[in-house]
């Protein structure tokens, strides 16, 4: 995502994350790690997830990438146990560490739910009438399947324009299209991602674990279109027999949100700034202190 944005704007992206956890990305060309000031225009953050030594900043608008939660749960487990975005494990969480894996699936499902709850309350539902940052959602799966269409939508949102025709950005997007996969290379992708294969880790989840994820994230699975509905075979990773009418109505509603926010920004509508990682903004810890050793138990035990 950051590499795509850097190719689009020609400006290094920043990051609120600490260099203790971001050195690997910096070595791989993302030189804006731990920089959130005027030297960069777009800043990566895991807000509202809170990690040690993160920087605070005020944002004007937010781009958010989402993914099939089953893939997220496996991918983040691998990252935490290898500190690498591209490493492949020599062991299997579900088979070799089933007790840990059961804890991890439920722990991460709860965290994902909390993430969306906070983000939606702040940027979509606007219960306090603060008109916080407009937000644009992109699915990882769509970025793989239709990268130029997704990039065009993101750029309209970021620039506050409902038409990019004749602009330098249109030219730059065309150049990115012509570069192909080289435009987005930061680190080596896993084989299933390069082949655009999704939901490849479903077999790692027991029926009870899958049910927990499905039930806990039902609202968000409908909103982001991860449900078997209306011929949605490509990203229909979950199925609900008797869904609530409001959930069915919200199917892929993130797209309507994106279009609405692009129109509002293009019309000149103003929003309040969002204090990312700020003390008055609701956040939560990725892991509390007594969980830190547990998180990397498989890697430590295997080593």
How many angstroms separate the CA atoms of 29 and 255, rounded?
A: 31
Provide the Cα torsion 40, 20, 52, 9; round to 10°.
Answer: 20
Distances (CA, A) of 133 to 137, 163, 178, 233: 13, 21, 33, 32
**Is 225 within 8 Å of 234 (Cβ atoms)?**
no
The pLDDT of residue 192 is: 64
Tokens found for residue 198: 């999704």
DSSP 123: I
Tokens found for residue 3: 């590499």
Per-residue pLDDT of the chain (303 residues), as tens digits, is: 888 899 888 889 999 999 887 877 888 888 999 999 999 999 999 999 998 899 999 999 999 999 999 999 999 999 999 988 888 899 999 999 999 999 999 999 999 999 999 999 999 987 777 778 999 999 999 999 999 999 999 999 999 999 999 999 999 999 999 988 766 665 566 666 667 899 999 999 999 999 999 999 999 999 999 999 999 999 999 999 999 999 999 999 999 999 999 999 999 999 999 999 999 999 999 999 899 899 999 999 997
Q: Which helix (DSSP H) or strand (DSSP E) does residue 25 occupy?
A: helix 19-27
The candidate with the shortest Cα–Cα distance to 69, out of 214, 219, 194, 203, is: 214
Q: Which helix (DSSP H) or strand (DSSP E) does residue 136 occupy?
A: strand 135-139
- What is the pTM for the complete model shown? 0.93
> CA angle 62-23-93, nearest 5°?
85
Q: Which helix (DSSP H) or strand (DSSP E) does residue 153 occupy?
A: helix 147-159
The pLDDT of residue 194 is: 65
């Amino acid at each position: 995502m950051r590499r795509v944005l850097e190719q689009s704007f020609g400006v290094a992206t920043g990051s609120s994350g600490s260099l203790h956890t971001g050195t690997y990305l910096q070595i791989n060309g993302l030189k804006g790690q731990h920089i959130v000031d005027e030297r960069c225009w777009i800043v990566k953050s895991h807000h509202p997830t809170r990690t040690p030594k993160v920087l605070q900043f005020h944002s004007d608008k937010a781009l958010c990438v989402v993914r099939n939660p089953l893939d997220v749960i496996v991918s983040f487990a691998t990252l935490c146990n290898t500190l690498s975005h591209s490493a492949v494990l020599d062991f299997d969480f579900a088979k070799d560490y089933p007790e840990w894996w059961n804890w991890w699936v439920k722990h991460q499902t709860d965290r994902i739910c909390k993430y969306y709850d906070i983000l939606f309350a702040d940027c979509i539902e606007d219960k306090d009438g603060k008109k916080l940052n407009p937000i644009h959602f992109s699915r990882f799966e769509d970025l793989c399947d239709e990268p130029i269409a997704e990039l065009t939508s993101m750029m309209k949102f970021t620039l506050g324009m409902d038409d990019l025709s004749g602009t330098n950005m249109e030219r730059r997007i065309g150049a990115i299209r012509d570069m192909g996969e080289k435009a987005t290379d930061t680190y080596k992708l896993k084989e299933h991602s390069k082949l655009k294969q999704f939901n490849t880790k479903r077999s790692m989840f027991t029926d009870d674990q899958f049910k927990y994820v499905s039930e806990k994230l039902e609202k968000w699975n409908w909103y982001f279109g991860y449900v078997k509905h209306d011929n949605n075979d490509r990203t229909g990773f979950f199925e609900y027999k008797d869904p609530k009418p409001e959930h069915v109505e919200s199917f892929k509603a993130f797209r309507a949100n994106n279009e609405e926010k692009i129109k509002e920004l293009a019309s000149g509508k103003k929003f309040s700034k969002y204090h990312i990682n700020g003390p008055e903004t609701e956040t939560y810890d990725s892991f509390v202190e007594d969980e830190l050793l547990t998180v990397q138990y498989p890697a430590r035990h295997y080593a």
